[in-house]
Amino acid sequence: MAGTREVEQMQYSPWRRTCATGLAPLQRTILEEESGTRLNRTWLPDLIIGLLQTEGYARAVLSACIDVLGVPNDLDEVTKTRMQRQQVLDHDGHEFRFLIGEAALRRTVGTHKIMAEQLAHLLAVMDNPRISLGIVPLDAEFRAPGAGFVLHDDSEASTELVGGEIVIDDPEQIALHAKTFDILAGQANYGDEAKRLIETALEAHRSR
C-alpha cells in the first residue's frame, strides 16, 4: 500500500505523449505554471535555465530536442513561447533562485557566438532584484545527487528525463528536493565571484 501511495504522488509523463503535436503546447503549460509560482527554485547542472536563455540558445536547445524526440517541428512557435515565459521575471510578487553548474557555461550550445551572447545575457539578468543566480563550480565537493529539478513553491517538484517528466507532490519528497537545493546553494558562487566564472567562460567562447 505504501508503494502504491508513493506512485500516486509521483506522475510520469512521456514526452511523446505530452508533445505529440509539437513542443509549443508544453511550453504554454509551463508558462502558466510559472505565472502561478511565487518562489521558483531551479537547479540545472549542464544547461542554462530556460527562463534565462537567449533566443539563439533556446532555438539550439529546442531544435536538438525536436530532432531527438522525433516530434512535429514547431521550432519557431516553441521558441517564441519560451521567450514569452521570461516576462514573469519582471512581475512583482515572484522570486527566482537559480542554480547553474559551471559546466553549463563551458558547454557549447549552438555556436561559440551564441554562447557568448548567452553568457553576456546572464551577466545582465543578475541585476534583476527578483533573481538570485548562483554558479556551482566544477570543483565543488560532491555532496548531493546532481540531477536537475524545479521546485514550485513548496507544492511540487519536477525533473526532466530523456523520455519524459516526473512531477512529485509528496511533501516528504519535496522536502528532500529543497534540502538538496540548499546544499547546492551553499556551494554556489554569487555576486562578483559568479560574475568572474561567467566572464572567464565568456572570454573562452569569444576566443574560439
Strand arrangement of the beta sheet that strand 131-136 belongs to: 10-14, 164-168, 156-160, 149-152, 39-44, 95-101, 131-136
In this predicted structure, what is the pLDDT of residue 145? 85
CATH H-level superfamily of 11-206: Endonuclease Chain A (3.30.870.10)
In this predicted structure, what is the pLDDT of residue 180? 97
Instruction: Give the model confidence (pLDDT) of 32-78 as tens digits.
Output: 999 999 999 999 999 999 999 999 999 999 999 999 999 999 999 99
Percent of the chain beyond pLDDT 70?
96
Give this prediction's pTM: 0.94
Q: Where are the domains of the chain?
A: 11-206
The CA-atom distances, in angstroms, between 156 and each of 45, 59, 72 are: 20, 27, 29
Instruction: Give the model confidence (pLDDT) of 170-196 as tens digits.
Output: 999 999 999 999 999 999 999 999 999
Question: In a 3-state reduction of DSSP, which class is residue 207?
Answer: coil
Does pLDDT of 3 surpass 90?
A: no
pLDDT-based confidence at residue 2 (cuts at 50, 70, 90): very low
Instruction: Give the model confidence (pLDDT) of 119-133 as tens digits.
Output: 999 999 999 999 999
Which ranges in 107-167 belong to alpha helices (H)?
112-125
Eight-class DSSP state of 134: E
What is d(CA 138, CA 174) in angstroms, rounded to the nearest whole number? Answer: 26
